[in-house]
Structures are given as C-alpha cells and as structure tokens.
DNA sequence: GTCTACATGTAGACCGCCTACATAAGGAGA
DNA sequence: TCTCCTTATGTAGGCGGTCTACATGTAGAC
C-alpha cells in the first residue's frame, strides 16, 4: 500500500515501539514490521535521521552499547518522550475520528 | 491538534466529500470542517491546488458554473475517482490497523 | 459606503521522508 | 579462507505535498 500515508506518524511510531523498553535502531525497524503485520517498513535513510531528531528533541536518550566491536546505539524513552507519546495517542484518536467521519466509516 | 497529521490524506478527503454529489471548492472546504467537527481545515493554498491535481489526474471533473457574475468551479467525481476513493478507503483501514497495532490501541 | 462572507487562485518556501550510496562487523557454508 | 547474507548505522541530495503570504473580485447586510 501507499507508504506516504504514514507521513507525519513516524516519530510517534518510534516512540510507541520504545514504550516496551530500550531498543537499538535495527531492532526498532524489525519490530515495526512485525507489529504491523509487514505493512510498515521504513528505509534506513528515514529511520536513523528520525531517531536523531527525537534524541535532539529530548524525547529519547541514546547510548552506544559497546558489545564487542559492533556498533549499536540503544535508545530509551525519556519522561518527555512518554508525555509526548501519550499526547500523540490522543491526537491519533482525534485524527482517525475526524477522517472516518468524513469518509463515512465511523 | 497537529495539522500535519493529515498530510497525504487531503485528496482522499476531497474525493469523499464529493461522493455525496457535486460541490465547488469553497463548499467542500466548509463541509470538511463540519463533517470533522471543526478539526479539519485546509488553507485555500492547499485546497485549490489539490483540486486541480485531482482534475488533472482525471479523478474529478470541474465545470465553471456561471450563476451570475460570480465565479464558481463545481467538481464532481468521475468513474476513476470513485474507484480511487474505494481503494483509498481500503488503504485507510489497513493504515489504521497497522498504526493501532503498533500503538497498542487496537 | 463599508464590512463581512463568499469564492478562487498563484508564488515561493519549508520540511519530512525517500533514494541511493557508503561503511563495517558477525556468522554460515563451500 | 573466501564469499555471501545478515546485522547495524549512517550521509547527501532531492522530491513533493503542504503551508504562508499575497492577490483579486462579487454579494449581501447594516
């Protein structure tokens, strides 16, 4: 399906995956695909910049986990991130309600 | 709420409003606001270019309704527009299902 | 005669995401 | 050990839909 429907929702989705606990980028990407039944898949060129934006915004905190030589940056939600996620979920409800009443699906 | 959530959905919303019958741009805009309970409102700089894109794509057909001196371009769905709208509705269901399973709302 | 609502449109810029590319380590199999 | 796939992260440049700001004109109310 059209991938561009997800525009504007990536950061919310990332926060939601991290709600279950710390994860690194690649794992987040895989979990997005699994949880969505294979519908959601973001290219790395979208994923990693988005994680950096969230970190810069103080919504997640990243840490280089140095397990052997392999580089892995593990992220976890901050308090601000949890608040933003909660607000995003409310926005989502409003959003779908509005669209579905226009589409006559509600 | 964040207006940018609606990115990528404008054209579908426009088709949905026209499903009820022909309308001109300004009326479409108002009906979007009413049907969505005031949540949805697009500036004219978004609305009119979008209508032209839909017309160029053959999904709607426009006609200058010359009622007195006032200029009004009335649009109606084409057969292709109806097909696209139906497909968009299906996409919407998939989209919300995917997002809600990630957000743990489903 | 002025103000608000009606009605449509263009120009330019913004910005989130995509495409394409770049890098490198770990593990499996030949 | 050589190769290949998976794991893992990232940058550069561009696209495109939307927004902001501006521009234009009519109809009706007060």
Look up the CATH number of the domain holding residue A92.
1.10.10.10
Give strand C nucleotides closer than 7 A to any protein Cβ: 6-12, 16-22, 25-26
Cβ-Cβ contacts under 8 Å for A40 (sequence gap 6 or more): A6, A13, A32, A33, B98, B102
**Number of domains chain B contains:** 1
Strand D at less than 7 A from CB of B53: yes
Domain extent at residue B53: 3-103
**pLDDT tens digits for B28-56?**
999 999 999 999 999 999 999 999 999 99
Q: What mean pLDDT is predicted for residues A15-25?
A: 97
pLDDT computed for residue A70 by the predictor: 83
Residue A95 has a CB neighbour count (10 Å cut-off) of: 23
pLDDT computed for residue A37 by the predictor: 93
pLDDT computed for residue A67 by the predictor: 64
**pLDDT tens digits for B91-102?**
999 999 999 999
Is A87's pLDDT higher than 70? yes
Is A74's pLDDT higher than 80? yes
């Amino acid at each position: 399906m059209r991938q561009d429907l997800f525009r504007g929702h990536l950061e919310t989705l990332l926060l939601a995956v991290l709600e279950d606990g710390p994860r690194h980028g690649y794992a987040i990407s895989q979990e997005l695909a699994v949880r969505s039944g294979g519908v959601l898949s973001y290219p790395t060129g979208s994923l990693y910049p988005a994680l950096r934006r969230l970190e810069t915004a103080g919504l997640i905190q990243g840490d280089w986990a140095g397990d052997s030589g392999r580089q892995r940056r593990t992220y976890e939600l901050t308090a601000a991130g949890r608040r933003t996620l909660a607000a995003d979920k409310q926005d989502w409800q409003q959003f779908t309600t509005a669209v579905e009443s226009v589409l006559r699906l509600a």
